[in-house]
Amino acid sequence: MAKLSNEEQSDWDDKIDCVLMGYRVSFQDSTKHSPYYMLFQQDMRLPIDSDSLQACKEENGDEEKLDEVMESLLESRKKVFNEVEINITKAQEKQKIPMIENMKWLL
């Protein structure tokens, strides 16, 4: 954030949206997903992705019912959250081992 702001750091609030978007689409080692993907179960579509809207329509079909889409989204979210829970547990276990090794000298 400091690198994006001016020397007086008086314009940081103008830069926060860009920084947060960068964080939200960044792959997280512990969860194996980006925060955006965890929330919406899809990668963020940017205006530069000109074919993304067309691809979405082709993927979902115009006649698909809203209830079916919502049910599918909720099921997908459950799968992602279960995956994330497993990945976080694995990441925590990885961090415990070096911590225990470093603490042995205290015992």
**pLDDT tens digits for 37-50?**
988 888 888 766 65
- Domain membership of residue 49 (yes or no) is yes
Low-confidence ranges of the chain (pLDDT < 70): 1, 47-66, 99-100, 103-107
Amino acid at 60: N
**Phi/psi of residue 69, nearest 5 degrees:** -65, -45
Q: Tell me how far apart the alpha carbons of residues 10 and 53 are, in angstroms, rounded to a whole number.
A: 37
Cβ-defined contacts of 41-48 (< 8 Å, 24+): 41/73, 41/76, 41/77, 41/80
Structure confidence at residue 48 (pLDDT)? 61
Overall domain count for the chain? 1
Of 67, 68, 43, 39, nearest in space to 56 by CA:
43
Q: Count of CB atoms within 10 A of residue 74's CB?
A: 11
Would residue 1 count as lying in a domain? no
In a domain, 87, yes or no: yes
**Which domain does 38 fall in, by range?**
12-106
**pLDDT recorded at residue 46:** 73
